[in-house]
Amino acid sequence: MIKGIGIDLLELDRIEKSLEKSNRLAKRVLTNRELKKMNELEHNHRKVEFLAGRFAAKEAFAKAIGTGIGKLSFKHMEVSHDQNGAPMMKVKGYETNTIFVSISHSKNYVVAQIVIEEK
């Protein structure tokens, strides 16, 4: 049974401007593993896409559960990839749910959608 659906759309240039100033947003949004993976990327544009995708996915999850960010921290959520390269998400306190995540980028935007299903 579907427990929640969330979506978030974000402009890449907002994230790019933030990263040009400092790494503060990345440190606030990403877990240590995610931050390490982002820092391993060679091209700045790829880093922007990486951070924006995870930010959007985490915002979409917060919308899907109906609380928004606040009761749930960005650090409680982690986006990684399965063996085929598809994104997957783990969230502390939601281990008994199946979380479907989709992230897509265009030249100017990133969109993420979350579907939460009770097991």
Residues belonging to the active site: 63, 105
d(CA 16, CA 61) in angstroms, rounded, equals 22
d(CA 117, CA 97) in angstroms, rounded, equals 6
Is the Cβ–Cβ distance between 91 and 103 less than 8 Å?
Answer: no
d(CA 116, CA 99) in angstroms, rounded, equals 5
- Nearest Cα neighbor of 93 from 116, 115, 110, 111 is 116
Torsion of CA 87, 64, 113, 8, to 10 degrees: -120
